[in-house]
Copies of this chain bind each other. A is one copy, B any other.
Amino acid sequence: MSDWKVIEGGVTAPRGYRASGITAGLKLSGLPDLALIVSDVDAIAAGVFTTSQVRAACVDYCRQQLQAKPSAKAILCNSGQANAATGEAGWTDAVESAQALAAVLNIAPESILLASTGVIGQRIKMDALKAGIPKLVAELSETGNQAASKAIMTTDLVPKTIALETQFGDRPVRIGGICKGSGMIHPNMATMLAFVTCDAAVSPPLWQEMLTRATNRSFNQVTVDGDTSTNDSLIALANGASRTPAITAMGPEAEKLEGMLTAVCEYLAKAIARDGEGATCLIEVQVSGAEDEASASKVAKTIVGSSLVKSAIFGRDPNWGRIAAAAGRAGVHFDQNHLEIKLGDFLLMQYGQPLAFDRNAANEYLKKAPTGEYLKEDTVLISVQIGNGPGTSKAWGCDLSYDYVKINAEYTT
């Protein structure tokens, strides 16, 4: 099916992109805290943002920019202060950040998109940010992916980066991405940020349409603890530097591009789940037999978000009853007599009734889960069939451990 391959380089793998990441002094820790991604030419830009009513200034800023003009040349991301719940002053800081970068890059401020993560209620340290911009620009490079992917991290344990390549005719087309997850060892830090670059040429409405669908099948199907952030942002650029023909409507090449985009988003989404606070494994839930994809998605996400299921997996307990109960309360109608549940290759429940299975073997499976397709980590696979419909979906999460509680309880503001 998928005729693309994984390549090195993340967001700088596609042609015509440079990136950088520096320590500007926004974080007290002295770790990198300012990242930049630049496209040499104007790129088509699409975005998906938090649906929260409590939003960071950068989220409102990006929405406004993209509504006016779906293109951009640069994405500036600070990982020191979230700039959420900061009112008018926060908005002014966002505008001034874009202006300061625009002056150094010598482009229009309208070509810049912004993202922030860090402590809610804190304004950006503007002096440090402005002072850091010349260095940030000076360090832009076609090998700057690692620096950028590290500079967007807050409490992530590992940087998260991926790139894929395919051929359109005789020319390579690439998509790359980086993201950070919601690590909340520090109070009030709870943000998913992802940046995707692509060198295909694609029309703005189609690129946004593809991004929205890809998001629904990846980031929107991930849950670490059910808490949506004030700053969640996914921005995707497509600059046409592959010099392949412009894609303006769905068709074989558009489908291939969307398949790659979805694969990049799915990889990044899984990487966030695996790096969830206190996680000891990645959980993938596959739901089939639903009436449609939306129903399957609801069931999959409800199961992977269940505290009881998550605790059971942490305890390496093949507890099918909790999986059945979570499926049942997802708000999707199905006949419980058709319910089938598998854990890895172990059939635990069929026709809505528990089966005898080898508990020791299932327990061993949970202790040493097979390797995922991209993520070379432990993956626990739960497959649930709820009927005979065509709807399928996947969702990802992680187990609920003592460390999750510890991380989120023991830090006092």
Contacts and interface: CB of A to CB of B under 8 A. Distances in A.
A324 B85 contact: yes
Contact of A319 (B188, B320, B327, B330): B188
B325 A227 contact: yes
B225 A308 contact: yes
A359 interface: yes
A317 B402 contact: no
Given A190-B308, A405-B400, A228 B412 contact: no
Nearest to A89: B353
A412 to B, nearest CB: 5
A25 interface: no
Nearest to A399: B409
A314 interface: yes
Contacts of A329: 50-54, 227-228
A69 interface: no
A225 B307 contact: yes
Contacts of A311: 404-405, 408-409
Nearest to A190: B325
B53 A334 contact: yes
B336 A85 contact: yes
Interface in A106-164: 119-121
Interface string A385-413: 00000000000000011101110111111
A315 B401 contact: no
Nearest to A363: B412
A49 to B, nearest CB: 12
Interface in A298-339: 305-308, 311-312, 314-322, 324-337, 339
A88 to B, nearest CB: 9
Interface of A: 50-55, 85-87, 119-121, 184, 187-188, 190, 225-230, 305-308, 311-312, 314-322, 324-337, 339, 349, 351-354, 359, 363, 400-402, 404-406, 408-413
9 contacts: A52-B329, A53-B327, A54-B336, A54-B352, A85-B324, A85-B336, A85-B354, A119-B321, A229-B325
